[in-house]
Structure 1
Amino acid sequence: MSEFVLTSVKNHIGFITLDRPKALNSLSLDMVRALTTTLLAWQNDASVRAVFIHSSSEKAFCAGGDIRFFYDVGTATPKGDSALLEDFFTEEYALNHLIHFYPKPYIALMNGVVMGGGMGIAQAGEDCRLRIVTERTKMAMPEVNIGLFPDVGGGYFLSQAPGELGTYLGLSGEIITAADALYADLADVFVPTSGIPALLGLLEQTDAADIRVAIREFAAPFTAQIQPENSKLAIQRDVIDQDFNGNSVKAICEKLQENNAEFAQQTLAVMQKRSPLLMSVTLEQLRRSAAMSVSDCLRMERNMVRHCFKHGEVLEGIRALVVDKDNTPRWSPATLVEVSAEQIAGFFAEVWPAHAHPLRHLAG
């Protein structure tokens, strides 16, 4: 078990507290294993009727995977060929799958930063989940900023967002707030941080057949106040749907270039800093994911992440952002014009035979 994952059971609810505040609760392999062990133990425990996962810090729910760890182990071996990396991503994706099909209510309080791997442990699931945001929520799938793609099932939940909102979020990596998250169907209810003590009291005292119903009733007045229909994504929806359709990042950027709207120009400027290759790979991922199950998406992403570390784009992105902090990644290729269809297709090539895929056991 991990010292950064605290667990308890109160009122038949299993509480998971992420407690690695100095690292914004970035997930380590030990944390992934602790979460998996806990959820498996509670899965068939009749005394645990629901799960509530949150953070000990208001700054972050979970900022994602520990990318400095990725860099350290990825650069220590040729072409990122590290057993620790293999273990991390295989076990993280298996955890995302476990949460997605969890048979009990799974409630995530996404207070503060929630990005990458944090989205994976909050967005997973459909039938039994409840996703809570606050005024502190800063949500993103920013992987293209480090030469990666929106993994942890990101292809699945982004491709399910209305219109081209998921395409915009995946290609730009931009941060959104609570109202945007609700509008994009990446959250269910809003509770202000001032209401969290009362929310926890509700969880610890209410004898509800389905605790999600009680939380929705508690949150309804707060959710109505923030008006998702007036969020930035709602206001820019027409531009996003018009400019982010199609299967070419180059064409998307050309449409943004021709659009004089301030939002379009700001978005273009952001995308010009991202990895041209991984934006192109991400767009292909999202288009493929739209017709795939979550299990198939996770298996596809497991192949993709292996290609990312072999290529080295993600190691260069982390170097520029986190290690040297020069913010001048040397992307390869350097421009969208240089990205070929063959390069994109290479990220979807099978790394393992079907019978040997590390996630071959995933069902659904």
Structure 2
Amino acid sequence: MSEFVVTSVKNHIGFITLDRPKALNSLSLDMVRAITASLLLWRDDDDVRAVFVHSSSEKAFCAGGDIRFFYDVGTATPKGDSALLEDFFTEEYALNHLIHFYPKPYISLMNGVVMGGGMGIAQAGPDCSLRIVTERTKMAMPEVNIGLFPDVGGGYFLSHTPGQIGTYLGLTGDIIGAADALYAGLADVFIPTSEIPALIDFLGNNEAADLRKAIHEFACPYAAQVEPSHSKLATQRAEIDTLFFGDSAKDITQRLEESDSAFAQTTLATMAKPSPLLISVTLEQLRRSASMSVSDCLRMERTMVRHCFKHGEVLEGVRALVVDKDNQPQWSPANLSDVTREMVLDFFSPVWPAYAHPLRSLIG
């Protein structure tokens, strides 16, 4: 178990509290294992009828995986072929799979920063999930900035957003708020942070048979505080769809270059910073994911993440942005024009590590 995950059961609801505030609740392997253990225990416990996951801090729900850990263990072994990396990603993706198919209501309160791995433990399957956002929500899948791709099932939930919104979010890593999250279908209800104590009290005392419906009714008075139809993504939707269609990252950047809109020029500058190779890989991932199940997406992403560490792009990205903080990553290749189709496709070819995790059969 983990000292950074606190669990309890009240009123037949299993509460998971992420409690690593100094690291914005970045997920460690122990945290992944603790969450998994609780969910498995409650899944088969008839006395637990729902799960509620939230944070002890208003700053962050979960900022993602512990990328400094990735760097330390990834640079300690040749081509990132580490048993600890294999453990982390295999068990994290297995947790994402468990959450997506959880048979009981799974409610996530995405207050504060929710990025990367945080999205993975919040974006449960539509049949049983309820995703709550607040005015503090800062949501993103910013992995391309560190030479990675939107994993933890990101290929699945981004590719199921309206139009080309998921493509835009995946290739730019743009941070969105509550109204955008609701518009994109990445959240279900809005509750102001001032009402979170009342929500927790409500959960601890409400005996409604349909808990998700009850929370919707609880949130109803606050719906007017956010306007998804007037959000940034909604107002930019037509331009996003015009710019981000197709299967070529080079064509997308060319369309951005040819547009004189302020949005296009800002977006072009944003896309000049991440790894050109991983921008191209991410686009391929999203296009493939659109016709795949979440299980197949996670299996594909498990293969992709191995390639990222073997290639070394993610290690360079973390070095530049987190370790040395020089913000000068030496991407390979350095320019989008030098990325070949063969380079991209290589990230989707089977690769097995020297160490095989027992859970590998579940997610690949």
Which residue is 1:166 aligned to? Answer: 166
Cα offsets for 1:209-259 (capped at 9, x unmatched): 111111101112212321100000000000100000000111101111111
**Equivalent position of 1:23 in the other structure:** 23
**Offset from partner CA, 1:11-64 (integer Å, 9 cap, x none):** 000000000000000000000000000000000101100000000000000000
**Cα displacement string for residues 94-145 of structure 1 (whole angstroms, at most 9, x for unaligned residues):** 0000000000000000000000000000012211000000000000000000
How many pairs align?
Answer: 361
Structure 1 stretches lacking a partner, 5+ long: none
Measured in 2, the distance between the counterparts of 1:39 and 1:12 equals 14
* CA shift for structure 1 position 352: 4.0
Matches within 5 A, 1:77-96: 77-96=77-96
Q: How does 1:237-252 map to 2 (within 5 A)?
A: 237-252=237-252
Say if 1:77 and 1:339 are closer, same or farther in 2 by CA, change over 3 A.
same
8 Å CA contact 1:299, 1:359 repeated in 2: no
Q: Which residue of 2 aligns with 1:198?
A: 198
Q: Distance in 1 between matches of 2:222 and 2:185?
A: 17
Q: Is contact 2:281-2:347 (8 Å) kept?
A: yes
Counterpart in the other structure of 2:111: 111
What's the counterpart of residue 328 of structure 2? Answer: 328
AA at the equivalent of 1:344: V
Write the distance in 2 (CA, Å) between the matches of 1:129 and 1:223: 19
TM-score (norm: length of structure 2) = 0.98
How does 1:190-269 map onto structure 2 within 5 Å? Answer: 190-269=190-269
Q: Deviations over 1:304-324 (max 9, x none)?
A: 000000000000000000000
| Percent of residue pairs identical | 77
Q: Measure the CA separation in 2 of the matches of 1:75 and 1:222.
A: 48
Letter in 2 for 1:236: Q
Q: How does 1:120-159 map to 2 (within 5 A)?
A: 120-159=120-159
Q: Secondary structure at the match of 1:25?
A: coil
Contact 2:146 2:318 in 1 (8 A): yes
Give 1:288 deviation, angstroms.
Answer: 0.3
Residue of structure 2 equivalent to 1:55:
55
Q: What do you get for the CA RMSD once the two structures are aligned?
A: 1.2
Q: Report the Cα distance in structure 2 between the residues aligned to 1:264 and 1:138, rounded to whole angstroms.
A: 22
Residue aligned with 1:124, SS: coil
CA contact 2:94–2:362 (8 Å) conserved in 1: no
Q: Matches of 1:340 and 1:34 in 2, distance apart?
A: 41
User: TM-score scaled by structure 1?
Assistant: 0.98
Tell me if 1:7 matches 2:2: no
Distance 1:278 1:362 in 2: 22
